Chains A and B, each alone.
Chain A
Amino acid sequence: DGGITQSPKYLFRKEGQNVTLSCEQNLNHDAMYWYRQDPGQGLRLIYYSQIVNDFQKGDIAEGYSVSREKKESFPLTVTSAQKNPTAFYLCASSIVGAATEAFFGQGTRLTVV
């Protein structure tokens, strides 16, 4: 089945540790995105990538880093510099074009203790 896979579903980390969230897609989409969701809030864009080896900062990139070495994969690292990392993280992908929609993975809930 084609889709977007995020892993793990739940992640616990100690404060001050970096943590990497995985996102893989087999939809052959060029563009991939990372969003953060807090309770009662909409989704806010962290980073996005339109093509392999290229990515752009979104609205809340501070404290996060990404890489795009393969078309299928777009991992997100939450660094110790992120002041409030506990959140629900969502990965999405889309084709590149004038009329495109984004499809989402199932999310990773990160809790920092």
Chain B
Amino acid sequence: GQQLNQSPQSMFIQEGEDVSMNCTSSSIFNTWLWYKQDPGEGPVLLIALYKAGELTSNGRLTAQFGITRKDSFLNISASIPSDVGIYFCAGRRGGGADGLTFGKGTHLIIQP
């Protein structure tokens, strides 16, 4: 099965820096989701996007659904230590209950 192309694979940043990551696909998705996963835990939903061009914020997080429906990005502003973790993008093609397609994740590491 297809996986989304998520980049970068890992990021080493200083506390307070802004972060940007993105996902691309060769096919169209109707829903884009961004999750954060801490070690040994299940992913937690951060932002859900349902319309092409949609820009949505959740605190310091901002995500956009690409106009072509084939990409999405997530920005984190003014990073803090608790932002450390793995961020996954996920897309859903259909309008029913078909499963999500996931990227391989972006591992965010904040250097002291």
A and B together in one complex: yes
How many residues on B have C-beta within 8 angstroms of the other chain's C-beta atoms?
A: 30
Cβ A98 vs Cβ B97 within 8 A: no
Cβ B42 vs Cβ A59 within 8 A: no
Stretch at the interface among B13-21, B55-63, B68-76, B102-110: B102-110
Cβ B33 vs Cβ A101 within 8 A: yes
CB contact list, A63-100 vs B, under 8 A = 88, 90, 92, 94, 96-100
User: Which of B42, B97, B101 touches A107 (beta carbons < 8 Å)?
Assistant: B42
**Residue of B with least CB distance to A33:** B99
A43 interface residue per 8 A CB criterion = yes
Q: How far is the CB of A45 from chain B (nearest CB, A)?
A: 4
Cβ A50 vs Cβ B96 within 8 A: yes
Distance in angstroms between the alpha carbons of A31 and B50 in the assembled complex: 19
| Interface, chain A (partner B; CB < 8 A) | 4, 6, 30-31, 33, 35, 40-45, 48, 50, 58-60, 88, 90, 92, 94, 96-107, 109
